[in-house]
């Protein structure tokens, strides 16, 4: 089967941002998740937290570089009125203590029970953990955003992860270039497909069992 054309990275980020509700505090992981900050839904007050000790920042800054004002990915950012700084223990207290409504992380693999692997690449024999393990267990809701398959077309959504884990049973929702899938106590449930993609195509590119309801909506972007 030909792999269908999926969403661009920007559209994936846009779809993730729709999950944010008014008043929520959100942590965006390094890489693709960071893009989500450019697509925050208008009219909803969403507060961004960064694990290096910032609450309430805005977008990426294109002004003069301030070494002391960066997000967890090292990118320069802007501050919004009412922002605050704290030390890393307090910041991870927010995360581990369940005060972050949603964390968005990139993924390498996830399992049908919501295990996540996103920090170590066996083929390269390396990787670094950063704050991912804390975000995985600490956020009230964890959204993973990743390509549905590897560049070689291998499934990333598996019965069990083959890569070293970031966290067990931590993923609540995965947004890929092809689909939106809920992790439920009964396993993975397909919620939406990307425009032009069929449920059958998604299921075929998913190694884990995937429950496909009678009617699956198309993503609205």
Partner 1 sequence: MVARVYDTPAEALEGIEDGISLMIGGFVTAGLPTNLLEALFERGTRGITAITNALNSDTVLDRMCEAGRVDGLVATFAIRASSGKKSHFETLYRAGKVTLEMVPQGTFAERIRAGGAGIAGFLTRTGVGTPLAEGKLEMEVDGETYLLVRGLTADVAFIRAHRADTLGNLVYRRAARNFNPLMATAAGLVIAEVDEIVEPGAIEPEQVHTPAIFVDRMVQAPALPVSWDG
Smallest separation, CB 136 to partner 1 (Å):
8
Site for partner 1 contains 121 (CB under 8 A): yes
User: Order of strands across the sheet with 109-111?
Assistant: 116-117, 109-111, 157-158
- Least Å distance, CB 36 to partner 1, is 18
Verify binding: residue 41, partner 1, rule CB under 8 A. Answer: no
With binding defined as CB under 8 A, does residue 37 bind partner 1? no
156 alpha-carbon distance from chain centroid: 14
Question: 163-182: which residues touch partner 1 (CB under 8 A)?
Answer: 164-168
Greatest Cα pair distance, the chain, in angstroms, is: 53
Task: Check binding of 213 to partner 1 (CB under 8 A).
Answer: no
Contact between 161 and 111 under an 8 Å Cβ cutoff? The reply is: yes
Q: Are 213 and 190 in contact (CB under 8 A)?
A: yes
Beta strands 157-158 and 173-175, pairing class: unpaired
The candidate with the shortest Cα–Cα distance to 188, out of 157, 145, 146, 148, is 157
Nearer to partner 1, 128 or 214 (CB): 128
As measured in angstroms, the least distance from the Cβ of 189 to partner 1 is: 23
| Subset of 144-163 contacting partner 1 (CB under 8 A) | none
Cβ(53)–Cβ(91) below 8 Å: yes
Q: Does 79 sit near partner 1 (CB under 8 A)?
A: yes
- DSSP-derived 3-state class of residue 83: strand
Q: Which of 83, 189, 212, 216 binds partner 1 (CB under 8 A)?
A: 83
Instruction: Give yes or no for a contact between 175 and 12, defined as CB atoms under 8 angstroms apart.
Output: yes
Among 25, 109, 149, 176, which residue sits at the site for partner 1 (rule: CB under 8 A)?
A: 25
The reply on whether position 128 binds partner 1 by CB under 8 A is yes
Residues annotated as catalytic (active site), given as ranges:
51
- Kindly list the residues in this chain that would bind partner 1 in the complex (CB under 8 A): 23-25, 45, 47, 49-56, 66-70, 72-75, 79-101, 115, 119-121, 124-134, 136-138, 164-168
């Amino acid at each position: 089967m030909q792999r269908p054309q999926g969403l661009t990275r920007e559209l994936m980020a846009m779809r993730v941002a729709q999950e944010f509700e008014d008043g929520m505090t959100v942590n965006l992981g390094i890489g693709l998740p960071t893009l989500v900050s450019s697509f925050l839904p208008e009219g909803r007050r969403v507060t961004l937290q960064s694990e290096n000790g910032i609450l309430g920042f805005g977008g990426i800054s294109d002004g003069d570089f301030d070494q002391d004002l960066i997000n967890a990915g090292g990118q320069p950012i802007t501050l919004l009125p009412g922002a605050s700084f704290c030390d890393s223990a307090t910041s991870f207290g927010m995360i581990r203590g369940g005060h972050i409504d949603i964390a968005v992380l990139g993924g390498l693999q996830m399992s049908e029970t919501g295990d996540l692997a996103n920090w170590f690449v066996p083929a390269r024999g390396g990787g670094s953990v950063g704050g991912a393990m804390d975000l995985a267990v600490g956020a009230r809701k964890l959204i993973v955003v990743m390509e549905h398959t590897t560049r070689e077309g291998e499934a990333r959504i598996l019965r069990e992860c083959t890569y070293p884990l970031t966290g067990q049973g931590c993923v609540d929702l995965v947004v890929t270039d092809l689909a939106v899938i809920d992790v439920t106590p009964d396993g993975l449930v397909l919620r939406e497909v990307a425009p032009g993609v069929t449920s059958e195509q998604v299921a075929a590119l998913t190694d884990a069992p995937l429950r496909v309801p009678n009617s699956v909506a198309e993503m609205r972007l």
